[in-house]
């Protein structure tokens, strides 16, 4: 079975979601350097899923909005309510992990 991911382009922003419309009931944020947005979104989505796959009903969403020199990343997705604080902490840990960030730059290719 192949997964179908929706890639939405809105002006300069990119949103990757499994289900439409994308919903961010669980959302965390960070800023990353400019790189290929679709590759970056897929990498973040994979790591987010690995961290939160035990959260029943979770469906990842990653949104990238351009900022000076990079991307404002909002990562999270659909999740059943109420959402435990631990789920937010695990999602933020994915975005803040230095090894994840280095791998994302290698895979998505930093643009200078």
Q: Using the predicted structure, report yes or no on whether residue 1 has a pLDDT greater than 60.
A: no
Find out whether 93 and 47 touch, Cβ atoms under 8 Å. Answer: no
Domain boundaries, the chain: 6-108
Q: What is the mean pLDDT of the chain?
A: 94
- pLDDT tens digits, residue range 41-82? 999 999 999 999 999 999 999 999 999 999 999 999 999 999
Is the backbone peptide bond immediately before 82 cis, with ω within 30 degrees of 0?
A: yes
Find out whether 40 and 100 touch, Cβ atoms under 8 Å. Answer: no
What is the Rg, in whole angstroms, of the alpha carbon atoms belonging to the chain?
A: 13
CB atoms within 10 A of CB 95: 21
Cα of first residue to Cα of last residue in the chain, in angstroms, is: 37
Sheet holding 6-10, edge to edge: 6-10, 13-17, 59-67, 70-78, 26-33
Q: Using the predicted structure, report yes or no on whether residue 12 has a pLDDT greater than 90.
A: yes
Find out whether 26 and 90 touch, Cβ atoms under 8 Å. Answer: no
pTM for the structure as a whole: 0.92
For 92, phi and psi rounded to 5 degrees? -65, -35
């Amino acid at each position: 079975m192949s997964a179908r991911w929706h890639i939405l382009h809105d002006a300069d922003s990119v949103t990757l979601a499994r289900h439409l419309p994308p919903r961010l009931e669980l959302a965390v944020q960070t800023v990353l350097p400019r790189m290929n947005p679709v590759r970056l979104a897929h990498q973040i989505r994979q790591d987010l899923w690995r961290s939160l796959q035990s959260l029943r009903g979770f469906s990842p969403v990653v949104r990238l909005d351009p900022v000076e020199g990079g991307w404002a990343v909002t990562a999270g997705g659909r999740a059943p309510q109420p959402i435990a604080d631990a789920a937010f902490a695990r999602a933020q840990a994915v975005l803040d992990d230095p090894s994840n960030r280095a791998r994302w730059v290698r895979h998505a290719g930093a643009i200078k």
